A and B are shown apart, each in its own frame.
Chain A
C-alpha cells in the first residue's frame, strides 16, 4: 500500500484483506529535509499514541533536500493504515510506503559491539564474530569492537551470544530498508 501526495488518496482501491493481528511494520517516509520535520513525525506518533520501535533518518538527495525516514512500528492493520494516512497529512511528507505490506523487504542494520575479556572468552568472541561475518574495527589486549551488518534478527542473535563473551556496550543504527525488485518508491 502506498500513499502518494497529490494523487487520489482514496482508500477504496487500496484496502485489502489483511491479517487482523498486531505485528511490526516497516514504513518508508520521504520528506522534505527542513527544520522540524523529524519533530513533526515523532510528535504525531507520541500525540496519537502510536509506538515507535525504531526510527532512522538521513538525507538521501542533497540537491532536492529530501530525506528518507524509516520507521518500525507495531499495530493492527487499521491502526497502521491510520498511521500512514496521518503521516501523509503532514505538509513536508511526499510519500509513505509500507514495506511490510509491499512484501519481503530488505532490512539491514549496523551495530558496533564492544566486548572485553581474556583467554577462552576472548577466543570464543572472535570465533563467533567470524561466524557472523562481523569485522574487528578496534582491538586492545583485552577488548574488541566488532562491526556487524545484517538483518535485525541476526544482530539480535549475535548480541545475545556476546552477552556471554564479555559484552560491554552496544550501539545500533536502527533500520535501513528497501523493497526488493527494480522499482523504487
Chain B
C-alpha cells in the first residue's frame, strides 16, 4: 500500500505504523510542519516538555519501563544540541530511542542559517546511527530503518534529521516496517560449540557466580524468565550491575546484592574468589571491576554479549559467547538439561558457606539515629511502604542513587530507571514522567538528591500539565553528596563548591508549579509523610531532610580490588582519607 503525502505526514504515519502512541517533544521553527500534523490527528499523543533534554530522558524512562522504543521530537539547532545529553545517556545504557529533529531547509544547510547546527555531525558519536534526510524519496525507508536499528542487536538511540523543505514536499509513502534498508543484521544465536563448552565449564565449577547486567532486561521478559530458571537449575549465586537490578528478584535466595564500587561485600568477594564467572549481558565496566589487574584473578570467565566489541574490551575472557541473552540462555538450559551434569555438591556447599560468612558481615548496616533521618533509613522506609504496590523507581545520580540501588530491593525487571553509564544528574524526574505516562495507574517515584533534582526541575511543569502524578523523593543533605564524599576521600576534606547554598524552598517550589510539597525532617514523622505522599494523586516534591555528612558504603576505592572494600559501620575518618593511593587519585 503506497500513498502520496508530505514529509511531515510521513513522520506521523511512520510512528503510527510502528505502534508508537506517545512521543515527547518541544516545537520550534524547523519542526512546525510536523507539529501541525500532530495537531490534526489523535493516534499519537505528544507530551510537551520544558527542555529538550527532558524529552530525551522522558523517552528513555518510557522505553526502559515498557521495553518499547522511546520517541523524542525537537527542532533544529538548540533543540538538537539540548538533546545530546539524553542521546549519549541512551547510548551508554543501550536504551532504544528514536529522536526526530527538524533541520533548516536543504538550500540553507551550510550557510550558518538561523538555528542551524550540524546535527548529524554533533550526534554521530552519541547515536547508534543517524541520518540527514536529503530527499523525500528516502524518508519512509529511513524512518522505519531508524526503528529497526534502535531496537535490534544492542539497542541504542538513533536520530533522523529532517530539513524543513523535505517536511513540506510530497512523496510516496510506503509502510516498509519489515524491510531492511541497510545490511545491519546482528547475530542473535551463538555457535553450539561455545554453548557446549560453557556447559562444561559451569558443570565443573566449584565456586561459580553469575554476574548479570542490563542486557538481560534489554533482551526482554523471556530472557528474565530464563535467567531465573537457569539460577534454579544450576543453584549458582547471582549478582548484578546497577542496570540489571530486578532481573533476578532481590528476595530470591541466590541473590548476593549488587556488585561493584558500591556493591555488597558478599557480591564483590564472591566475584574475587570465584572459579567460574558467567557474565550475562554486562560489560566489565570500570565501576564493576575495580582495579583491573586484580579483578577476579583465579576464575575462568564466560561472557555472553550481543555486541562483539564488548568482548575482551576491558577484561580478557576465556569463553566469549556472542548472541542475544535470551537465545543464549535458552540454548544453555537445553544443553545443560541434555548433559545432566553431576555438580560437586560438597564444593558448592562449601562455597555457599563461605558466601554466608561474607553475608554475616551485614555490609549495609549503618548507624541509626533517632533525631535525624539517615538517608539509608529513608530508602528502607520508602521500600517498606511501597513494596506491595505497582511501583516504578527512577533516580538522579549520586549518593541517593547508590542508596536506592542498595536499600530498595527490586523484585521485577523494568522497575528501576537510572542513568548508569553516563551518570546524568537530572535524569530522574523526566524519566519518571515518561514512566508514569506509560503506566498511568502506577506509583512512580524519582529518588533524588537536592542537587540533581534542580538540573531538570522545570519538568515539574510537564508533570502538572500532563497529570503525571510522579513523586520526587529528595534526600536533601544540602550537598552534592557524592562529590563531597570524594573530596573527603581524595582532597583532604576540602569541600570545594559541593555545598549547595541558597536552596529553594522545595515545598513552596512545588506549590509554585501547581504540585504538592511535603517536608519531613524527623524519623518519627517519616512513615506518615511517605504514606501521605503515596495518597496524593498529583505530582509531589518530597523534601526529606537527611543527615548532611553520611557516606555511601560499602565502597571499593578507586584503584583498589574487590577484596579491598571499605565497609560503612566501622570505618574511621582517617581510613576514609587514606583509602585511595596516588595511582587511584587520577581515576574517576
State the A residues within 8 Å of B (CB): 3, 5-13, 15, 32, 35-36, 39-40, 43, 47, 78, 81-82, 85-86, 88-92, 94
B194 to chain A, nearest CB (A): 5
* List of B residues within 8 angstroms of A82 by Cβ: 309, 312-313
Contact between A39 and B187 (Cβ–Cβ < 8 Å)?
no
CB atoms of A47 and B120 under 8 A apart = no
Whether A91 lies near B313 (C-beta < 8 A) is no
Q: Which residues of chain B from 267 to 319 have any CB-CB distance to chain A below 8 Å in the complex? A: 307-309, 311-313, 316, 319
Residues of A within 8 A of B182 (CB): 32, 91-92
Q: B125-133, B426-434, B481-489, B574-582: which lies at the A interface? A: B125-133
CB A116 to nearest CB in B, in angstroms, measures 40
Give bound CA distance, A40 to B320, whole Å: 27
A-B contact pairs, 22 of them (CB 8 A): A6-B187, A8-B187, A8-B322, A9-B186, A10-B322, A10-B323, A11-B308, A12-B191, A12-B197, A12-B320, A12-B322, A13-B193, A35-B132, A39-B121, A39-B124, A43-B124, A47-B125, A82-B312, A85-B308, A86-B309, A89-B308, A91-B184
Instruction: Say how far B105's CB is from chain A's closest CB, in angstroms.
Output: 17
Give Cα distance in the complex from A10 to B323, angstroms.
8
Q: Is the CB of B187 within 8 A of A9?
A: yes
Partner of B183, one of A5, A13, A47, A85: A5
**Chain B hits for A43, CB < 8 A:** 124-125
Nearest A residue to B310, CB-CB = A85
- Beta-carbon contact of A11 and B311 below 8 Å: yes
- Residue with the greatest number of chain A CB neighbours at <10 A, chosen from B132, B183, B193, B322: B183
Indicate whether A91 sits within 8 Å of B149 (C-beta atoms), given known contacts A6-B187, A40-B124: yes
Chain A contacts for B177, CB-based, 8 A: none
Contact indicator A91/B190 (Cβ below 8 Å): no
What is the CB-to-nearest-CB distance from A48 to chain B, in angstroms, rounded to a whole number? Answer: 9
Of chain B, the residue at the smallest CB distance from A90 is B129
- How many residues on B have C-beta within 8 angstroms of the other chain's C-beta atoms? 33
B348 neighbours in A (Cβ, 8 Å): none
List the 8 closest A-B pairs by CB distance, nearest first: A85-B309, A9-B308, A91-B129, A10-B322, A6-B185, A8-B187, A85-B308, A11-B320
The residues of A that contact B359 with a CB separation of less than 8 Å are none
- CB neighbours (8 Å) of A94 from chain B are 183
Apart from A9-B308, A88-B309, list 10 A-B contacts with CB within 8 A. Answer: A8-B191, A9-B186, A10-B321, A11-B308, A12-B191, A13-B191, A13-B193, A39-B124, A78-B316, A91-B184
Contacting pair B128 A91 (CB below 8 A): yes
Cα–Cα distance between A8 and B331 once the two chains are bound (Å)? 15
Residues of A within 8 A of B228 (CB): none
Nearest CB of chain B from residue A78's CB, rounded to whole Å: 6
Using an 8 Å CB-CB cutoff, how does the interface string of B456-484 with A read, 1 for contact, 0 for none?
Answer: 00000000000000000000000000000
A12, B121: Cβ atoms under 8 Å?
A: no
Q: Chain B contacts of A10 at CB under 8 A?
A: 190-191, 194, 308, 320-323
- B residues near A5, Cβ cutoff 8 Å: 183-185
- Chain B min CB distance to A83 (Å): 9
State the CA gap A90–B309 with chains docked (Å).
11
Determine the distance from Cα of A8 to Cα of B322 in the docked complex, in whole angstroms: 7
A111 to B183: give the CA distance in the assembly, Å.
36
